[in-house]
């Protein structure tokens, strides 16, 4: 029995050392194009879901009014669309190179309409480690974080005016591919 326990303890102690050697050897997949490490998704998702279950707000302090949804459109267009795309648009080149790929939040597969708004709010506020998802608690107000969370919660049933605002080009926007040179002023 004593030899069994010594073998068990030795085996348990050797596992972290072996993992350390694996990482130090340069064989661990760290590039965004690499396959995930064994059990990487399991540990990351398990920890994320447990934390969100514990910390996400259970009540929404703002109603899903047209004003709040329009506010969410502005926040989404400025802060989220680059990675998560706009409705009916292709993902940006940067998002195609990320691992894990950010979900397209207005596509059928990427919508988070089944998540409580508090879960989306938690993700917007805190970000998600090892995914490229930043936390916005230092750059957006509490109201703005709730507005974009409400927008995403209702993404599959937005009022027509809100959906149109989300799909329209922002005023003063430049065409894709760079800025336009300033127009020459006419002399009087």
Domain spans, the chain:
1-30, 42-167
DSSP state of 133: B
Residue 64, Cβ neighbours under 10 Å: how many?
21
Q: What local confidence, expressed as pLDDT, does residue 188 receive? A: 43
CA 151 to chain centroid: 14
Contact 111, 157 (CB under 8 A): no
Is residue 160 within 8 A of residue 81, CB to CB? The reply is no
User: Furthest-apart CA pair in the chain: how many Å?
Assistant: 101
Q: Which two tokens stand for residue 20?
A: 């350390």
Q: How far apart are the first and last CA of the chain?
A: 101
pLDDT tens over the chain, length 188 residues: 888 989 888 988 888 888 888 888 988 887 877 888 878 889 999 999 999 999 999 999 999 999 999 999 999 999 999 999 999 999 999 999 998 999 999 999 999 999 999 999 999 999 998 899 999 999 999 999 999 999 999 999 999 999 999 998 665 443 333 333 334 444 44
Backbone phi, psi, residue 166, to 5°: -65, -35
Q: What dotted CATH number matches 42-167?
A: 1.10.760.10
pLDDT for 13 equals 86
Report helix angle 66-79 to 142-153, nearest 10: 100
């Amino acid at each position: 029995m004593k030899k069994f326990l010594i073998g068990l303890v030795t085996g348990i102690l050797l596992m972290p050392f072996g993992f350390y050697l694996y990482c130090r050897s340069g064989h661990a997949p760290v590039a965004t194009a690499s396959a995930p490490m064994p059990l990487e998704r399991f540990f990351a998702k398990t920890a994320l879901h447990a934390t969100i279950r514990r910390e996400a707000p259970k009540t929404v302090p703002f109603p899903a009014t047209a004003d709040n949804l329009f506010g969410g459109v502005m926040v989404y267009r400025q802060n989220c669309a680059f990675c998560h795309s706009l409705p009916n648009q292709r993902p940006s080149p940067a998002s195609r190179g990320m691992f894990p790929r950010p979900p397209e939040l207005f596509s059928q597969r990427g919508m988070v309409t089944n998540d409580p708004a508090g879960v989306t709010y938690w993700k917007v506020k805190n970000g998600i480690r090892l995914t490229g998802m930043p936390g916005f608690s230092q750059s957006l107000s509490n109201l703005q974080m709730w507005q974009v969370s409400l927008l995403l919660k209702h993404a599959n049933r937005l009022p027509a005016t809100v959906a149109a605002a989300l799909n329209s080009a922002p005023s003063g926007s430049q065409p894709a591919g760079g800025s336009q040179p300033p127009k020459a002023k006419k002399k009087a």
